[in-house]
Amino acid sequence: MAKPITIKDVKIILTQPAGSRLVIVKVITSEPGLYGLGCATFTQRFHAVVAAIERHLKPFAIGRDVSRIEEFWQMAHVHSYWLNGPVLNNAISGIDQALWDIKGKLANMPVYDLLGGKCREGAAVYRHAGGPTPEAVLESVQKFIDQGVHHIRVQMGGYGGKADSLPKPEGAPDGAYYNPREYARRQLKMIDYVRSHVGDDIELLHDVHERLQPIDAVRFAKDLEPYNLFFLEDLLAPEHINWFRDVRNHCTTRLSMGELFNSPLEWKAVVEEHLIDYIRMHVSQMGGITPARAVALFANIYGVHTAWHGPGDTSPIGHAANVHLDLWAPNFGIQEWCGFPEHVYEMFPGLPELRNGYLYPSDKPGLGIDIDETLAAKYPVTDTIEKWTQTRWPDGTPWTP
């Protein structure tokens, strides 16, 4: 019986080539030259993820058989006793994705073939259009249309919008202030303006980013019904998911949810009760490819489609994992795509490419993507106290960002 290939070392690569702090995990094996890459990016708390990997998961992983991905994930998940947190989930994801990358290299197959093979050749994407006025948003939308993109998320003034006035109380603390009800009124006018100019053939999306009180979120979804959005994204925070029942009872606006989900108990009910149309977790936050595969199959039973989170704080490795899941999943819906500058493609050879509105991964074995560590080192990570996540209503009340 051949000696199993085992995990020899777990290396963490930190880099910040395009704004977000990225956490890349490199699993080095006992087979000379064989390694895998995974995404463990939690950009707001990256130091905590690094510590979790270095001090806890790395000692746990070394010496284990690289072929036993499911067993590793299940044992790593329960080993901490306390479960389902973003720090440990991301740490587990980094190794999990790297093990899938290694398995593909050993099998000489792309990960999408390991999962069961392609259901499609490319993954349709949605891009982010925005601006300070309806006219500016429309101009941004038109640029993506000219590039062949047919699904476009429209935002005006960023998450929560830019309010004309914010009557703060005396001594109000610093923060990222916004006016939720004014935001809802303005976005409706912007979406009406854009829809009237682009027609019905372009699919429009909008991200609420959990910025509204639940009752106002119900009203907003109902008011958007005439515009037939492809979907309305993250209408409610995870702690308010019971309100999705009220939304369903009042309108047929398509809904997507999941960016902040950590636990199966958060996504189980909204799928089983048909309260959403698209499930869109951050794959590293939920623990990697292994749980994402399980969720996709679970959601498929109930007619819910996938729309994995794909912002700039998903690393290129994470985006590659997303696209392999997209090509395989029978219930793929759409893929968020942030786009990367040219130097990021140089740093991550094999990064999926966008052509005429579709993403295509490398067809090399595994995830098909690598990292130039020398180039990555030229973009060191920086520490900062995030301001955009210090979200407040006009009276200073903290609210979900």
Q: What is the pLDDT of residues 7-27, one digit of tens each?
A: 999 999 999 999 899 999 999
Give dist(CA 54, CA 99) in Å, integer. Answer: 17
pLDDT band at 2 (very low <50, low <70, confident <90, very high): confident
159 is catalytic: yes
Q: What is the mean pLDDT of residues 389-396?
A: 94
* pTM for the full predicted model: 0.97
Q: Is the pLDDT of residue 265 over 90?
A: no
Give CA separation, 340 vs 264, 304, 319, 353, in Å: 31, 29, 11, 10
Sequence ranges of the domains in the chain: 114-364
Tokens standing for residue 230: 């492809």
Give dist(CA 337, CA 243) in Å, integer. Answer: 28
> What pLDDT score does 31 carry?
97
Amino acid identity, position 107 = A
Q: What is the mean pLDDT of residues 270-284?
A: 97
47 is catalytic: no
pLDDT tens by residue, 134-155: 999 999 999 999 999 999 999 9
pLDDT band at 130 (very low <50, low <70, confident <90, very high): very high
pLDDT band at 264 (very low <50, low <70, confident <90, very high): confident
Share of the chain above pLDDT 90, in %: 96
3 state DSSP class of 165: coil
Q: Is the pLDDT of residue 319 over 90?
A: yes
> What pLDDT score does 203 carry?
98
Select which of 35, 159, 178, 183 is catalytic: 159
Share of the chain above pLDDT 70, in %: 100
User: Which residues fall within 8 angstroms of residue 300, CB to CB, at 6 or more apart?
Assistant: 329, 330, 331
Is the Cβ–Cβ distance between 329 and 119 less than 8 Å? Answer: yes
**CATH number of this structure's domain 114-364, picked from the four choices 3.40.1350.10, 3.20.20.120, 3.40.50.720, 1.10.760.10:** 3.20.20.120
Q: What is the mean pLDDT of residues 384-401?
A: 93
Angle at 62 between CA 60 and CA 63, to 5 degrees: 115
CA end-to-end span of the chain = 54
> What pLDDT score does 398 carry?
95
Pairing of strands 35-39, 22-29: antiparallel
Per the prediction, the chain carries an average pLDDT of: 96
Tell me the sheet residues that pair with 392. 177, 398
Cα 76 from chain centroid (whole Å): 22
pLDDT tens by residue, 15-67: 999 989 999 999 999 999 999 999 999 999 999 999 999 999 999 999 999 99
**Judging by beta carbons within 10 Å of its beta carbon (0-12, 13-18, 19+), is residue 172 exposed, middle or buried?**
middle
pLDDT band at 162 (very low <50, low <70, confident <90, very high): confident
Q: Is the pLDDT of residue 1 over 80?
A: no
> What pLDDT score does 329 carry?
98
> What pLDDT score does 144 carry?
98
Select which of 128, 151, 206, 209 is catalytic: 209
> Can you spell out the DSSP letters for 48-96?
HHHHHIIIIIHHHHTT-BTT-HHHHHHHHHHHTSS---HHHHHHHHHHH
pLDDT tens by residue, 322-340: 999 999 999 999 999 999 9
> What pLDDT score does 174 carry?
92
pLDDT band at 133 (very low <50, low <70, confident <90, very high): very high
